[in-house]
C-alpha cells in the first residue's frame, strides 16, 4: 500500500481502513466480497483482516 511516509504509523487508508503493519506485504482486494472464500481456499493460513463494503 502506498502510505504517506510522513503520516503517523496508525494512520489508516480511508478506503480499506487498515494501517501500516496491519497486513502483509501482498494482499488481495477482491471486487466481489463473495470471492474471498474461493481465493482463500487456494492459500495456506489465509486470514480475513478487514471486511468493508461501500454503502
Distance CA 1, CA 23 (A): 10
pTM of the model as a whole: 0.49
- Total length of the chain: 55
pLDDT of amino acid 42? 93
pLDDT of amino acid 54? 66
Question: Mind listing the pLDDT tens digit of every residue in the chain (55 residues)?
Answer: 455 666 676 787 766 777 878 877 877 777 787 888 898 899 898 887 777 666 5
The answer for residues whose C-beta is within 8 angstroms of residue 10's C-beta and 6 or more apart is: 19
pLDDT of amino acid 17? 77
10 to 35, 42, 52: CA distances (angstroms): 29, 31, 18
pLDDT of amino acid 19? 81
Amino acid at each position: 500500500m502506498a502510505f504517506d511516509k510522513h503520516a503517523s504509523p496508525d494512520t489508516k487508508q480511508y478506503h480499506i481502513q487498515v494501517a501500516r503493519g496491519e497486513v502483509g506485504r501482498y494482499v488481495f482486494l477482491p471486487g466481489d466480497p463473495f470471492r474471498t472464500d474461493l481465493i482463500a481456499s487456494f492459500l495456506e493460513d489465509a486470514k480475513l483482516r478487514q471486511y468493508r463494503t461501500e454503502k
